[in-house]
Structure formats: structure tokens, C-alpha cells
Structure 1
Amino acid sequence: MYLIAGLGNPERKYEGTRHNAGFAAIDALLDKLGGQKLNETKFNGAYTKVRYESSKGMEQIVIVKPLTYMNLSGNCIAPLANFYKIEPEHIIVFSDDINLDVGRMRIRAAGSAGGHNGLKSIISCLGSDKFGRIRVGVGMKPDNMDLAVHVLARFNQTDEKVMEEMYEEAASAALDIIDNGLEHAMNRYNSMKL
């Protein structure tokens, strides 16, 4: 069994912002899996369980958007993983990354939070950094802009089109991890530029 989580903030005013790239990737994944809906609300998150015919056979995937706000994402993901007895190595997290250009993604199998408070919360609550993460590039902040203003801003029209494609690629990358492993997905997607 796998758990795939997308990080973001739950209020409608945050939809389409850079910080909600993880939520948008979850939406793309749900579409890819036949238009599934997040029909359960427990463990501080909106989630669903789906069956996925992977290259290794039928897999169960728990797909979740934490409703805790970004900085407390671990308060959803750790209890959910614990309830379903999902090891950190079978957790995949979509998050935004301000150190990557729009149109890039970076997949990692483990490591530090890299300054991302949502990932920091997950590491703290899981007691492990050994979970996969798909970091979606949202572009660096301009020098004269506050970081919070940058991550809570929306994309311009050009970047928004690229991001729509990126969310689909991120969803495909998550399924590739389940089908072929993290290393395969890293080799395939880390060098990609839209």
C-alpha cells in the first residue's frame, strides 16, 4: 500500500497559488486515475483509497490533501500512514519548490526538508526522512519580494499553462515510482524541462 500526499493550504483563496502546487498535483493524479474524489475526511485530511493496476500487480493507494495548513502537514500524514500501516518508504509527497524554475521537478528518495516547512513537519511527525518527494518548481522569488507574498501569489498566464502540464507530469511520476521504483522515476523526470 502507498500513500500519496499533496501539500497546500485548504481555503479557497489559496487555490492556484504557488504554495498549493501539491494540491494541484493531487487533482491531476485523481483525474489520471479516472476522476476519483477525496470522499473521506479524517486524520486532519481529505482522502480516498483507490486500487491501481501497477506493473507489479494491484496496489492500494491512499491519496490525501492535508487540511492542516502547510506548516502542520505532518499532523495529517503521520496518523494516516500509521492507521494504514504504511512505511515511510511507501509515502510520496508532492510539494512546491521555489529553488526550481517553473517547468522543472526534482524527485528525491529521502533527505532534509530543504527549508520547506510542510516537509519539515512530515519529517518531524514521521520520525523519518525516508519518504519520496516530488518537488514541483514554482520559480524563485524576485529579490524585492517577501517570500510569503511570492509563494501565496498566482502564476502569470504563461507559467500557468506550463504548470498545468507539470501537474500531469508530476502525477505520472508518482505512478512511475509505484510501477518502477524511485530511481527509475528520478532518471526519467529529474532532467525534464517543460
Structure 2
Amino acid sequence: MIKLLVGLGNPGQKYQKTRHNAGFLLLDELAREKAVTFSKEVRFFGDLAEVNLSAGKLYLLKPATFMNRSGRSVSSFMKYYKINPEEVLVVHDELDFEVGTLKLKSGGGHGGHNGLRDIIASLGVKDFKRLRVGIGRPKPGMQVADYVLSDFSKTDVQHVKELFYNFFNYLSLLQGGDYELAMQELHSRIK
């Protein structure tokens, strides 16, 4: 059962449309779809919204810390609401997938992603679920840091947003605890 959906990104206008902010982008689209707004929550070091789905309430959290300090926000929220790691889905950018590919994963390492690294360090466990949003690899000669902090092209961002709206159809399955079916359906239908 998923109770908390965390989108990873960097705060501020400068980073708003960057590839590294794929997690924020998904949460912003879900909030827009459900007509809810985020509010600043100082005690959780982030922005918070709540959506009501058929399976109940789902919290949306965008850490207002920079990417490499995301764990502070996530762990403080989880402690306050007594949410277990297996009830969390973290949405993040993934270099190893083509732009727009969406893949669910349960547990695992950080794969060099600083946001995941900090969440794992803060929680002391790796047992949370992830939605990996493909952003592709930089062209030869371009630094990875420069690439992830550059904006999506208009075509890519439109494609990614369309996939997000398809993913929203699986939220009730995830929230209801049917992770395996959601993963099977997502991986077979969203390309």
C-alpha cells in the first residue's frame, strides 16, 4: 500500500524544467489533474499536497531541500505520520532509460543518484519503491551534471507528461497494495 508519493527535484525557478526535476514534474501534473495545490510545510522541509483516490488519501511531497538532502524531508514526514518505507514511492529521473520510459522498482541501491543516496542514508533502509523516469544519456563530451540540470526539450517534456497521465491510472492499484499487477500493467503498456 502506497501512502506517500515523493517527487525528487531541486527547488527554485532555475531548476523547474530540468531533467533532474522529473519527480517534481510528475507531482505537479498529478496535483493539476486532481485540482489540489501544494503548501509549504516547514516541519517537513518541503511542499505538501493531499489527493483523494478511490483507495483513500495519498500524500504528495516535494522536498524543498536540494536533491542531495532529500532524505531530511522524507524521513521527517515519515516519522510524523508513522509511514513505513514499503508505503513510499519515490519518483526520480533515470539516466539509464530513454526519455519518457517509466519503470517501477522495489528496493535496490541508489545507482549514483544523490537524492536516492540521501534518502537511503536518512532512512537506513533501501526498501522503498521507486518510479524511474527515463531522461536518456548526455551526448558524448557533455558532463552528466550539466545534462541533468538542463531543461527538457519541448517535445520531450510533452511526451513525458503524456506518460505521467497514463501512469496516474495505476495509482489506485499501487495505493491498494497491488504493486506487482501495477508494475506488470505499467511495463507492458507504457512505452
TM-score (norm 2): 0.91
CA deviation after TM superposition for structure 1 residue 168, in Å: 2.1
**Contact 1:24–1:167, Cα closer than 8 Å, also in 2:** no
Any gaps of 5 or more consecutive residues in structure 2? none
Alignment of 1:57-68 (within 5 A): 59-68=56-65
Residue aligning to 1:103:
100
**Contact 1:105–1:134, Cα closer than 8 Å, also in 2:** yes
CA distance in 2, matches of 1:22, 1:176: 20
Secondary structure at the aligned position of 1:190 is classed as helix
Deviations 1:98-128 (A, max 9, x none): 1110121110111111111101111111111
CA deviation after TM superposition for structure 1 residue 180, in Å: 5.1
Residue aligning to 1:121:
118
Deviations 1:71-116 (A, max 9, x none): 1110100010010000001001110101110121110111111111
Residue aligning to 1:36:
36
Q: Which amino acid aligns with 1:45?
A: G
Q: Which amino acid aligns with 1:27?
A: D
Matched pairs, number:
189
* 1:88 aligns with one of 85, 88, 91: 85
Gap change, CA 1:95 and 1:174, over 3 Å in 2: farther
Secondary structure at the aligned position of 2:90 is classed as strand
Alignment of 1:139-150 (within 5 A): 139-150=136-147
Any gaps of 5 or more consecutive residues in structure 1? none
CA distance in 1, matches of 2:159, 2:173: 21
Q: Which amino acid aligns with 1:189?
A: L
What percentage of residue pairs aligned between the two structures are identical? 34
**Contact 2:31–2:49, Cα closer than 8 Å, also in 1:** no
Residue aligning to 2:46:
45
Q: Which runs of 4+ in 1 moved over 6 A?
A: none
Gap change, CA 1:171 and 1:12, over 3 Å in 2: farther
Superposition CA RMSD, Å: 1.7
Residue aligning to 2:5:
4
